[in-house]
Structure 1
Amino acid sequence: MTPERFAKGMTFDDYLKFIGSPENLRREGFDIRRFSLAKPRVDWSGYLRERHAKARLSDEQAAAIKWLATQPGGPAKVLVIAEDWSSDCRRDLPYLARLAEAGGLELRIFNRDTETMLRQGLPEPGSHPNADLVLEYANEKNGQKFATVPVAVFFTRDFAELYRYVEYPTIYHKDRVLGALRKARPGETDEQTKGRGGREIATLLESPFFDVWAHAGVAEIISALHERLVTA
């Protein structure tokens, strides 16, 4: 990562403006509530503004990131790869912005996708403006690499990587939870299962657990940054 490459990303305010723009909304997205592609995209700009306005770190989290940022070799920059159609991004981005604000960290956000949503694997090198970042910070799971979102990469002032947060906190067993909600119930047709599962997932995303997992992500990041500094 270089200062010039990092500077090409969007600030959080820029990102909020972008996701409500015609340029973004005409891109292909995904709606987890219907478990289907969505084009045009759902406009999540108002939702994210409201979520950011309500997002609060705990006093301990705010104090911890402030302390970490003052230490030699502490965090100073945050690069985030995101897509607004992702419920994981909508959960974490407002809190990542609050974390950056509390610590005085410089935050830049980069899109993962182009006009179409990347459904699997990784983009071809040079296939779009941010393909280099998607490839560099790909998620690796079970021997395979994925272009997961969100990815939040924390750097020192000189762009030495300190920690990489990927997709969701470890305490949230997403595949197991969503799989259980989408699982067919006795007597349901496929269409009924899809409809009920979508409604239950939508309810989950509006529940207190969404913020519980957001706070867990913040705690995980802060703890990992602390461990990196004290064990370096």
Structure 2
Amino acid sequence: MDLNAWFQKGMTMDEYINAMTRNRDEMISIYEHFALTAEDKSQLETLRTQNLRAIVLSEDWCGDALLNNPILMRIAEAAGMELRVVLRDQNLELMDQYLTNGTSRAIPIYIFLNEEGSEVGVWGPRAPEVQALVMERRAALPDKDAEDFQEKQMALYKDLAASYQTDAAIWQTVANSIKQTLL
């Protein structure tokens, strides 16, 4: 299947949100509280004439999707870009073409397309600065065979999720990273 066909197969962002069973309220909260800067909007408006579209490989259970998808939605609004969501777990044929480090089915992945349906950029699953933050926090965990590893790992993920939902600096970092791919 070519990328245009995958795009057509995808759900609109509204359909995706309405079908969400996890992280819906948290994602909507980020969307409602995040605003692009005037400079961001001005830069993204220059993309309107390109009629870009994006395939969003995602799942509602994913913490990174919870953070990144609402920011992409704001970017798409400013750039006049249509988004379509393709669920990772039901579409491994597409997912396996966009593995992180050649091995991981990490999401979200954003595949940006031009009018002809050719790939013009790919972003995801995290902004490099967010990846560095996650790696730094993971490095502080005890060994995997330690008695308290599971407990500490769950606490880490809970803390990261809280940061993702409230830290406007993280939101802007994600926006800058996605914007860099597009511009």
The two structures share one fold, judged by TM-score above 0.5: yes
The answer on 1:138 being equivalent to 2:94 is: no
Match of 2:46 among 59, 67, 87: 67
The answer to which structure, 1 or 2, has the higher relative contact order (CA under 8 A, 6+ apart) is 2
For 1:66, the aligned partner's letter is E
Q: How does 1:8-157 map to 2 (within 5 A)?
A: 8-20=9-21, 43-70=22-49, 74=50, 76-114=52-90, 130-139=91-100, 141=101, 144-157=102-115
Q: Are the counterparts in 1 of residues 55 and 85 from structure 2 also a CA contact under 8 Å?
A: yes
After the TM superposition, which segments of 4 or more aligned residues of structure 1 sit over 6 Å from their partners? none
Q: Are the counterparts in 1 of residues 51 and 80 from structure 2 also a CA contact under 8 Å?
A: no
- TM superposition score normalised by structure 2: 0.84
How many residues align structurally?
Answer: 178
Aligned to 2:137: 178
SS at match of 2:66: helix
Greater helix fraction, Structure 1 or Structure 2: 2
Q: Are the counterparts in 2 of residues 181 and 201 from structure 1 also a CA contact under 8 Å?
A: no
The answer on 1:217 being equivalent to 2:174 is: yes
CA displacement at 1:2 relative to structure 2: 4.5
Between the aligned partners of 1:175 and 1:205, the Cα distance in structure 2 is: 11
Aligned to 2:122: 164
CA displacement at 1:181 relative to structure 2: 4.5
Higher-Rg structure is 1
For 1:178, the aligned partner's letter is R
Between the aligned partners of 2:121 and 2:51, the Cα distance in structure 1 is: 9
What is the root-mean-square deviation of aligned Cα atoms in Å? 2.3
- In structure 2, the gaps of 5 or more residues are none
- TM superposition score normalised by structure 1: 0.68
CA displacement at 1:4 relative to structure 2: 3.7
Q: Percent identity?
A: 22
Aligned in 2, Cα 1:183/1:61: closer, same or farther, shift over 3 Å? farther
